[in-house]
Amino acid sequence: MKALVVVDIQNDFLPGGALAVKNGDQIIPLVNELMDHFDFIVATQDWHPADHKSFASNHLNHKSGDQILLDGLEQILWPVHCVQNTPGADFAANLQIDRFDKIFQKGSNIHIDSYSGFFDNGKKQDTGLFDYLEENQIDEVFVVGLATDYCVKYTAMDAQALGLKTSVISDATRAVNLQEGDFEKALEEMRNNHINVLTSTLILK
């Protein structure tokens, strides 16, 4: 059975948000349309405490984009975003969240970031997403959302590593692009890890 995994389509990642992904809002109508083609839909939600250590403002003499070691892992420092129970952490207003079977929150441990919808970046804790998919006889996932080069990529990579047949619908994602070309690099990295990269036309036809 197949599932659509909708990654982090939240206000802070949309134009005008604290960590805006360029044109991130443009995927929302397409994601809503794709939902019509799946009987099972789950979503991930970035859900940080205000004192999260991935926020540049919580480190003296550091700015967004700097890299540090956090709990032994390389960490990019980000602007404050998706703080629990704030409007920035809410899903986009025009995203059809009533279609979600379940929402999985991530990034709530202040000491470690969580790009993937399955695990934190150190794979010390899991969100329960894989167990939920397994309980519902899901063996194939299609990943959409924000952002291609971070949370979408790591969610897809973990899904594939966990034995799920995994596809990313590339035109239903957008990238942060800290470096020019990061979108294309992310797609290539996923292909190299046996993830199917396709466009929505194959689903909607």
Active site residues: 8, 106, 151
Among residues 4, 60, 55, the alpha carbon closest in space to that of 32 is found at: 4
Dump the DSSP string for 92-119. PTTS-GGG-SEEEEE--STTS---SSSB
Residue 127 contacts residue 119 (beta carbons within 8 Å):
yes
Q: What are phi and psi of 151, to 5 degrees?
A: -70, -35
Distance of CA 186 to the CA centre of its chain: 13
Is the bond preceding residue 50 a cis peptide, omega within 30 degrees?
A: no
According to DSSP H, which parts of 38-174 are helical?
A: 129-135, 153-161
